[in-house]
Amino acid sequence: MKRDFQDQFPLLYESGRLLFDQPLAQRSSFKIGGPADVLALPNTQKELIALLTYALQKQIPYFILGKGTNLLISDKGIRGLVIGMEGFQKITRDENYVSAFAGVKLRHLCEFAQQEGLAGLEFAHGIPGSVGGAVFMNAGAYGGEIKDRLYCSKCLIPELEHLTGSDPILHLTAEQHDFSYRMSALQTRGLIHLSSVFRLFEDEPSAIKARMKEIEQKRWEKQPMDLPSGGSVFKRPQGHFTGKLVEDCGLKGHRIGGAAISDKHCGFIVNLGQASAQDVLELIKFIQKTVYERYQVTLETEIRLIGER
């Protein structure tokens, strides 16, 4: 596979953007994960389409990787092709609309809007991850969600008939994203996010910055920002708060291997330094079992479990 990719994508290889047996732990907010067989880092839509086309033609499995948040990557890593989107970094403004490419950090998008005197994304400041990931899962916090500000998106249809034809791009209106809690049409339809436009409103940059600072302070007070984690482990069960359920079961600080339930927020599992994906998985199952036995509440994971098992 290595030789085939080198021959097919010589420019990517020569520029150091085609890597083999590449560890993924440092590309994950959990700091956990084995190697990718092939890691490609395209900078253009043309390169991305070429990589996807080749993978589909050769029946090579692929995975699109943003900033690696809300993910638990297997200790064995990911077989096939991993495509990192960090090269897609452009942000622009047109009146009260801001366009951001998939690889832009959500924090950078919020800071750009603040500096431009555009409000509406304050809730997202401090949410780890990229714009692509945020749209993919309808990220939200502190009373806001991506769906509240999203105007439209540009996506790729990862099917050979589209990639090799004249219509690989799909433009989605806000409504066509079919947003719900931590869900979007990008997930249900298998689309690949390229960029999104957000509809914002004017406000004083200093006022926007103050709100962002207040939200960031709340995060540091209530969440384990000083330790690697994958964010909220579980989706919020209807009528309950996950952290309270877990804490009421007496599980605060409970540890399996190098993974532990956060002392600060029981909805988070943190990596104490040497945690494996298996440690985290066993702790997730233990939490689910304990909470169900005591409260008959089923906890569904919000983090995505990916890679070879």
Q: Which residues are catalytic?
A: 182, 232, 302
CA distance 99 to 199: 9
CB 156 within 8 A of CB 165: no
Token pair of 14 as six digits: 């020569």
Q: Give the C-alpha separation, 127 to 139, whole Å.
A: 8
> Long-range contacts for 272-280 (Cβ within 8 Å, ≥24 apart)?
272/227, 275/30, 275/32, 276/32, 276/75, 277/32, 277/33, 277/34, 277/72, 277/73, 277/74, 277/75, 277/307, 278/75, 280/30, 280/32, 280/72, 280/230
Contacts of residue 138, Cβ cutoff 8 Å, sequence gap at least 6: 145, 146, 147, 177, 179, 180, 181, 182, 183, 184
